Structure 1
């Protein structure tokens, strides 16, 4: 009996303390923490885009060098021209002897190789990472690749036709390209690429920057913070810059390095810095007064419930326990001791079941003394202790319900600052751009593969497709279609579904409109070259694995991300979904449609705060592309992040208030339910049994269920039942009616 009551009081006091601590700890700074965290993630997203661009370019250079059909008669000049003539972004190129570093051929601007140990660079067996060099006062990236030439054959013994193969030759291809410029998203934001010394190598701005954003100390602070992260290659953070009037600069930084171990960008030491001036919050937010009131009310309720249960249940039950034990001793003993135990009336304390048990015990006491016979008790009874437990739960509901449903409710229109909405919109645009870049790159690589198909036999074409499939894990299948739509050549898995009518041109398309998996494919025409063997089909299709799209959507603190088609049906997502299902909320569908511009335009990104069943949600939507192979699709990227995860004071107060109410109600109801199971329900059973015993039932054996106060009362009742049954048997045998001969004699003497 004591543990449930003590636990109820203690746990409610703990909830009161947590309510006080949780709500009193919410403070609104001049710049919301959600804005600083969002700027950090924008810098990390921008760094990821730059890392992806550099990695893709390095892979392209290596793949081009590996696929070059060199022969033993190839010259450095022709090889260099074949490897670089189709590349528009190349500033300069060179072909070197990897052993001596001798320049074999050069093209374009002079490649700055000062400080590059060619022999040591080419000595490794793995991929050679890019290098950052200075040429003509500008910073450039050098990409490296090994060109392997077949071994030259030497006829060592013409008489015996013995041929000894020579060793393979290798050349080192070096390509110089400009450092990729960062992309600045969001009005008034500036993005910079910094080297290890904090010097800005490339800068991009969007819109008009505020004077508050001009903070010369941010680059050096960002590089120092990046160096302080040690071996963490995926480090990022946020900084607060200068303030001008009611605006302050918020900056984010992130390292341009691989997230999964050694990569092409690890040794470059590049850091992306983004910053933007945002309005500061002048209104102070203080929930300490509310926290004190809510916690104080719960403390009062806890003490009142504890006192009520102590005086109305615990003390009466203890008195009843003592009275039952006294009567059991009087029923089993003889002489003056028995008379003394049975002579005192049983006090009737409490109400409900305890009062019923007390009255029945008094009747049993008189029966043991022989003063009365069995007594019937009325069937109609008043409220019992179950009603007391229900009243306790109701009292807790009166405190918890307003906490859960009414108090500190965040206003959807004003709870989320406009700067937080702008961050979500910006990150949605970056996610959309990342998807577009991935699809555009897949289309470009597919076009390169299609360009190498004419003029080759079927075996060579199959080899090209297999090499393309091996180099691009995003494809699950590559196949050629003829003019009738039939597959003439395929590598990889079976297509989910092939297109019926062969399309013209090239781009990205969805092959199906229903089913379990969206069939998204890149396609391009296979051109016929005069005088060369035509390809096995007229259109090359590359079916894209939807898992590859899903994997690039997940970003920290961006929430749920969906890629939808022009009818707002889901094609890819970073959360569980069914293909071609609608967005989970109608508000998200309206938000996606709001990005659509006038006919013939790509539309613009937008963001909004929506109220969902779990609270406010900060949502954004952006069209997938404004140009390129995906521009005609009408696809969108939609994001939804619960406002509770963004550390917004109003939303934090709502969530913590609701949590306090749920905890208080749950723990209080659990303790009262525990009390009902251990005390109230057994009391109801004992009340029924003791009334039957007092009414003359001597056959029902009373078995104690628990080893507690109620179990002791049950054992005492069983002893009294045995004594009354023995007396009834003695009476039927002709002996005197009474508790026992000695007790009757003691009574007469007195």
Structure 2
């Protein structure tokens, strides 16, 4: 018999699939909602930690790049005093806690700004090594950690000088909201810096001090676990094909205190491209974000739905399999045995004829053929054709039985309506993450303008276009944010450029606006930063930002649709498909952005909203640019929204799993019953017609089996019987011979 043919394999596979589906249904549907903290909240904390890791990595890499590039620009010009170097840096960048210049050979301090830089921690003998200028972390006596970045100032004929910048490991522009804390963790599990946990002197009561102490203890426990998990390879730390964040990330569940459970997310610093490393990623740092979440005691109760659905499937599936065994498989197997008996010459016992369908027709034909083999004429052995349910009808009945179980799961049961409980923490996280994203976009534009200002001040009175070209080209290669860089004179003439052709209006004088958007009627926004060149009589350095760079900042898992809009609420960028300068998709999003732009307490504030429209539930948030810098004057905002059905909330999870169970049931029924129809029923119907034709006297048609199975075996037996029956010519010849013998 064929492995894929025959009556037995499809029914056996259907039985196995229904048993497996019953087990899966009992396990999956019965466990939904038993967690006191929804998985969506846990995943959100993981995404929050990933946002912090991305921001910290970008800040460290940007800081090192800016320091190195600034030193290179100074090295390309005439020598200047150490104080002038630090004054120039301080006027452009405000990111470092302290800066200093020292002689490499003697270690003499030449100039310093800001807080004292721990120069004693620098081993000048190792500066010539390959990684001698790599940033390093230093622990201060106060317990704080500083990151030291280095660059060499080298002018011909002068001793080498070391430019040192000290920065803290605090997060730039992370919006924590209420009760959240975030920490930078070293590879040894020690907390290097924290935000969100009050200092002991900031609390007044013993109860508050106890809560602060408990938070610090829980955060340290999370930090040790996160550091251990972050040592694994990112590919091995994730499920295959999960994608997402390129580093190691996840969530942790902590202790319960006063009805709240501490939930943490962790993420290691990862490069923006897979398989690469940066200055920041080589430091071995991780980020841990922790927030207390109220538990729902009702969620811990199990559901009997899974057991009930599994039991119903066992009953209906058992009835279906019994129907197929009794009405389809058994008659065909009986025909197979009876046909084999006739071919062996056992013609004394009548054929056991099934009661209905094609099997009854074939059985009746076999009985008539048995009589014909015994010498009876074909005309005398022709009974009335039996009637009854055919095999196709029986398969349809089996399909309806399985559909009775699958259809309600697919269409009716466990529908998540307008009563879905969306945790308030999800709304808060949407707001805070959107605010963090808004700050990151603003800082990126501010950093771009700071680069242009630094570039303009160092170009100064350079008159040779080739020197300008080298400086512009070097800056553009170090930063991916620029589409092109060029220098305009006071009349708008391009003196030097690097990258693509300028898109600013030809002949237009340099703008006094630091960052602006031009060509708002074009196919994409043209975002331009301008910085005046001192000593050049109105000349300016202009940088055109790549819109792809802006869009790349907005790609964050778990936020849904993200858009950057201008003051007129027109879309400038997004994290997926969008059209430039189009409006937001709904009036309520317009109202949300407009409301966040209004100043409350002296500055605009982000907001998060839960919209309910029947069963359509949506989480939305908007955050305007706030915090100063050249980009704040743009009046832009970042807005994000996503349907609540995208989140792993118990009601939606139960609905999705219920629908999946129904789909699996329909798929199993369609596959196995379709298999039966193609392999068994269709050949069986054809064989019934051929068997009746053979019994009616058709001796010329050769019968060929379609498959090597029970139906094929019956077909071969009928062919052997056909060969044993006398043909019409032979009957005439035998009749004529009998007549001549009678005359004689």
TM-score category, normalised to shorter length: 0.7 to 0.9
Partner of 1:164: none
Does the 8 Å contact 1:15/1:664 carry over to 2?
yes
Partner of 2:237: none
Say if 2:553 is the partner of 1:540: no
Partner of 1:62: 68
Q: Deviations over 1:152-174 (max 9, x none)?
A: 4xxxxxxxxxxxxxxx8521112
Partner of 1:596: 594
Of 312, 315, 321, which residue of structure 2 is paired with 1:306? 321
Instruction: Assess, with a 3 A threshold, how the Cα gap between structure 1 residues 358 and 506 changes in structure 2: closer, same or farther.
Output: same
Say if 2:483 is the partner of 1:476: yes
Partner of 2:468: 461
Q: Distance in 1 between matches of 2:278 and 2:382?
A: 90
Partner of 2:154: 148
Superposed displacement of residue 141, structure 1: 3.9
Of 73, 96, 102, which residue of structure 2 is paired with 1:96? 102
Partner of 2:10: 4
Say if 2:620 is the partner of 1:620: yes
Does the 8 Å contact 2:150/2:164 carry over to 1?
yes
Instruction: Assess, with a 3 A threshold, how the Cα gap between structure 1 residues 258 and 439 changes in structure 2: closer, same or farther.
Output: same
Point out the more displaced range, 464-473 or 139-148. Answer: 139-148
Partner of 1:220: 220
Does the 8 Å contact 2:435/2:622 carry over to 1?
yes
Does the 8 Å contact 1:497/1:519 carry over to 2?
no
Superposed displacement of residue 468, structure 1: 1.9
Partner of 1:712: 713
Q: Distance in 2 between matches of 1:598 and 1:223?
A: 35
Partner of 1:247: 260
Superposed displacement of residue 308, structure 1: 0.9
Structure-to-structure mapping, 1:48-447, within 5 angstroms: 48-69=54-75, 74-84=80-90, 86-88=92-94, 90-107=96-113, 109-124=115-130, 127-134=133-140, 139-150=145-156, 152=157, 169-177=159-167, 180=170, 183-193=174-184, 201=193, 203-204=195-196, 214=212, 215=214, 216-229=216-229, 231-232=231-232, 235-236=248-249, 238-240=251-253, 243=256, 245-254=258-267, 263-265=278-280, 272-330=287-345, 341-374=346-379, 383-447=389-453
SS at match of 2:135: coil
Partner of 2:650: 649
Does the 8 Å contact 1:644/1:655 carry over to 2?
no
- The structure with more radius of gyration: 1
Q: Distance in 2 between matches of 1:737 and 1:97?
A: 132
Partner of 1:505: 513
Does the 8 Å contact 2:185/2:227 carry over to 1?
no
Superposed displacement of residue 229, structure 1: 3.6
Q: Distance in 2 between matches of 1:478 and 1:412?
A: 53
Structure-to-structure mapping, 1:666-677, within 5 angstroms: 666-677=667-678
Instruction: Assess, with a 3 A threshold, how the Cα gap between structure 1 residues 110 and 286 changes in structure 2: closer, same or farther.
Output: closer
Q: Deviations over 1:614-651 (max 9, x none)?
A: x98864332352355265354434253775663x3333
Does the 8 Å contact 1:198/1:220 carry over to 2?
yes
Partner of 1:685: 686
Instruction: Assess, with a 3 A threshold, how the Cα gap between structure 1 residues 126 and 735 changes in structure 2: closer, same or farther.
Output: farther
Point out the more displaced range, 633-642 or 676-685. Answer: 633-642
Instruction: Assess, with a 3 A threshold, how the Cα gap between structure 1 residues 326 and 571 changes in structure 2: closer, same or farther.
Output: farther
Q: Distance in 1 between matches of 2:371 and 2:568?
A: 86
Partner of 2:499: 492
Q: Distance in 2 between matches of 1:95 and 1:539?
A: 28
Instruction: Assess, with a 3 A threshold, how the Cα gap between structure 1 residues 573 and 343 changes in structure 2: closer, same or farther.
Output: farther
Superposed displacement of residue 247, structure 1: 3.5
Partner of 1:333: none
Superposed displacement of residue 680, structure 1: 0.6
Superposed displacement of residue 476, structure 1: 2.7
Q: Distance in 2 between matches of 1:707 and 1:663?
A: 30
Superposed displacement of residue 26, structure 1: 3.2
Partner of 1:156: none
Does the 8 Å contact 1:455/1:533 carry over to 2?
no
Point out the more displaced range, 378-387 or 33-42. Answer: 378-387
Instruction: Assess, with a 3 A threshold, how the Cα gap between structure 1 residues 630 and 679 changes in structure 2: closer, same or farther.
Output: farther
Structure 1 gap segments, 5+ residues each: 153-167, 331-340, 739-750
Q: Deviations over 1:54-93 (max 9, x none)?
A: 3222221111111114667655455555555544455543
SS at match of 1:700: coil
Of 53, 75, 84, which residue of structure 2 is paired with 1:47? 53
Instruction: Assess, with a 3 A threshold, how the Cα gap between structure 1 residues 735 and 241 changes in structure 2: closer, same or farther.
Output: closer
Instruction: Assess, with a 3 A threshold, how the Cα gap between structure 1 residues 510 and 187 changes in structure 2: closer, same or farther.
Output: farther
Does the 8 Å contact 1:569/1:582 carry over to 2?
yes
Instruction: Assess, with a 3 A threshold, how the Cα gap between structure 1 residues 467 and 279 changes in structure 2: closer, same or farther.
Output: same
Superposed displacement of residue 461, structure 1: 2.8
Partner of 2:236: none
Q: Distance in 2 between matches of 1:581 and 1:698?
A: 81
Superposed displacement of residue 253, structure 1: 4.6
SS at match of 2:699: coil
Does the 8 Å contact 1:218/1:241 carry over to 2?
yes
SS at match of 1:640: strand
Superposed displacement of residue 473, structure 1: 1.7
SS at match of 2:350: coil
Point out the more displaced range, 695-704 or 677-686. Answer: 695-704
Superposed displacement of residue 187, structure 1: 3.2
Does the 8 Å contact 2:596/2:623 carry over to 1?
no
- TM-score, structure 1 length as denominator? 0.81
Does the 8 Å contact 1:557/1:641 carry over to 2?
no
Q: Distance in 2 between matches of 1:327 and 1:611?
A: 72
Superposed displacement of residue 512, structure 1: 5.2
SS at match of 1:355: helix
Superposed displacement of residue 400, structure 1: 0.6
Instruction: Assess, with a 3 A threshold, how the Cα gap between structure 1 residues 201 and 312 changes in structure 2: closer, same or farther.
Output: closer
Question: RMSD in angstroms over aligned alpha carbons?
Answer: 4.0
